[in-house]
Amino acid sequence: MKMTKRSSDKRAFSLVEMVIVIVIIGVIAAIAVPRITRGARGAGDASVRGSLAGLRNAIDLYATEHAGTFPASTAGDDQDDLLDHLTKRTDIDGAVGTTAGTHIYGPYLRGDSFPPLEVGPNKGAWGVDVQTDGPTVDETQVTVGWCYNSVTGDIIANTDDTDESGRGYDSY
């Protein structure tokens, strides 16, 4: 006589086991997701700090080599003039050019643009608002990532947003 297997002998997960596994996965996700988003926000903070450090170093070096005069300090100078002063060669008076032996200063930044802003509503904007007072944030200028005072050499992020600790990016 041949014995047949009954369906009750088959192995499978019970409903209780499945619910326990789903709850465990939910608890792990509840712990991991906030840590991941906090890490991403911290990366934006670090990016702003790094970009500002590079820009400030370039501006300070320019001023040191040009008798205390900051780049784009002539009346009417704009973003293009500031970019030229920081990415091309200049002479002692700040005139941009390529004459050997005369244009011996710079460049102070690599590439042909400013770093993009990595936080706030103007995220991705690399433009600079050259001001003679302030610098003050103006988030209505969506193509502007940075605000620069050509008189004092100060540069800030063009956003009123704050980091994880509540500190404004414009105060970095």
- Cβ atoms of 89 and 104 within 8 Å: the answer is yes
For residue 167, count other CB atoms closer than 10 A to its CB: 11
Closest CA to 62 of 86, 97, 45: 86
Structure tokens at 111: 């590439």
Element (H, E) at 19: helix 15-65
Residue 145, helix vs strand vs coil:
strand
pLDDT band at 13 (very low <50, low <70, confident <90, very high): confident
**What's the confidence (pLDDT) of residue 7?**
56
- Cβ atoms of 94 and 69 within 8 Å: the answer is yes
**What's the confidence (pLDDT) of residue 152?**
94
The rounded mean pLDDT for the chain is 88
Q: Is the pLDDT of residue 105 over 70?
A: yes
Tell me which of 53 and 165 has the higher pLDDT.
Answer: 53
Q: What is the mean pLDDT of residues 142-147?
A: 93
pLDDT band at 148 (very low <50, low <70, confident <90, very high): very high
Q: Is the pLDDT of residue 85 over 80?
A: yes
The answer to whether the Cα torsion of 163, 59, 142, 40 is positive or negative is negative
The contacts of residue 93 (CB under 8 Å, 6+ apart) are: 66
